Amino acid sequence: MSPTPSRDGAVRRAAEHFSSGAFLSELRALVAHRTESQSGERGAELRGYLTDAMAPALAKLGFVSSVVDNPVAGGPPFLLAERHEGADLPTVLVYGHGDVVNGHEGRWRENRDPWAVTVDGDRWYGRGAADNKGQHAINIAALAQVMAERGGSLGFNCKALIEMGEETGSPGLRQLAGAHGQALAADVLIASDGPRLSAERPTIFLGSRGALNFDLTVNLREGAHHSGNWGGLLANPGTILANAIASLVDRNGRILLDALKPREIPPAVRAALADLTVGGGPNDPAIDHDWGEPGLTPEERVFGWNALEVLAYETGIPSAPANAVPGVARATLQLRFVVGTDPTEALAAIRRHFDASGYDAVTIAASRMETFSATRLDPEDPWVHWALASLARTSGKKPALLPNLGGSIPNDAFSETLGLPTIWVPHSYPACSQHAPDEHLLGSVAEEALRIMAGLFWDLGETGPAVLARRRA
């Protein structure tokens, strides 16, 4: 314990935790767990990550943990943990997911092992280094530095939830939140996932766009028929499906069906987006400025509007085309949507539109087990101003504020089911190659993130009660 415990002392400890190599050692131990949730063959490893890695790490900080079976049959387990310091103190819920996508062994550059952290300059390669092991490891390490500076206390109550199925749509998470509402009750969620706006700029986001994946199929007949004998006589399912899709979204990516679009971008959201710039990084693709909804900035299109994407399309045999009219055509589409769009109504609206437009041969079916809902905390919430000020104080930079992430996370389990204000502080960056070979965490971002989170958790103990008072006023 420092002679006079201080915020600067906690931030300094976080920097030393990084420079000593201690954080790298912690991350290496986590990445070594082969927690691929998409394979369906890693049940023991998924549970072992909770019992052998997370529970012991949190126990060192005085947390009492329990592993809870998934409410969904066959779903991976959850870890619930709590450290209680006082009934009059604020309570924070922290979240992370220990599962990862498939390792893709043999496809990494220089034949890197996805289950070991390889340091190459500022890049720390390894599956889960960015998504999400490195991110929740940073937050746990920051909690430890605050406790060390305070002489064994945090100054607030802390609960932790670690899930092992986020990469498969978080099965059971919403049911768990509903069934364990009291155990997970808190004043605010502070969690980390996804990328910063850029590697250089600390970022806060307040929710995420939702995601609805669905399949369109035109199945007209068994088998294909010679196009010389039957071309011009048989309806072509590929042509029908292409035109059906074109009635939903035009050649420039503009959504044509009003039911798939939000009504507006709220003024507070538009104001926050005016301070942001998307893209421009060394590994970022060039933005197509004439794509999507006309009249919107690129930032408004990805963070404030909906996008309808064709993810896959197949008719015939693309790898070996035959001179034949195919019998079947299939496509998978995805609607990324913001608050104000009802995903439960979207498929019904498409069905009505197809029927009215003569595309009754097109069948529609949801293609994911879970649909991520769109969520967004009010940018004017006191927790938002508090978090922005804390990050600015530690980093010396103006943080980026995203009203919602462009991608999708299961934030609705926290914002809707548990009713929590949600503050997300991501520790990755857009070119981290998450979900692909060569996934990596930037060491420079990890170091800054450790300091930022130590400052944020310190401030929670110092000024969190005042934020709660303002919210209740």
In the DSSP assignment, the letter for residue 55 is H
CA dist 286 and 218 (Å) reads 34
Give the tokens for residue 298. Answer: 């690129």
Sole residue written with tokens 């706006």: 197
- Quote the DSSP letter at residue 366: E
- Considering the entire predicted model, what is its pTM? 0.90
Given this model, what pLDDT does residue 307 score?
97
Tokens of 132: 């999400």
> What does the block give as tokens for 33?
């767990």
Q: Which domains does the chain have, with CATH numbers?
A: 7-208+374-472 (3.40.630.10), 210-262+306-366 (3.30.70.360)
Q: Which of 259, 253, 266, 350 lies closest to 308, judged by CA? A: 253
**pLDDT tens-place string over residues 60-103:** 999 999 999 999 999 999 999 999 999 999 999 999 999 999 99
Angle at 112 between CA 110 and CA 114, to 5 degrees: 150
Question: Which residues have C-beta within 8 Å of that of residue 122, sequence separation ≥ 6?
Answer: 442, 443, 444
Instruction: Give CA torsion, residues 432, 438, 443, 449, to 10 deg.
Output: 40
Q: Note the pLDDT of residue 397.
A: 98
> What pLDDT is stored for residue 370 in this prediction?
65
Query: Residue 407 has what pLDDT?
Result: 84
| Local mean pLDDT, 10-residue blocks, the chain (473 residues) | 86 98 98 95 96 98 98 96 97 98 97 98 98 98 98 98 95 96 98 95 96 96 96 98 98 97 94 91 86 96 96 96 97 96 93 98 85 90 98 98 91 96 97 96 98 98 97 90
The pLDDT of residue 368 is 66
Give the tens place of pLDDT for each residue, 342-355.
988 999 999 999 99
The per-residue pLDDT for 2 is: 53
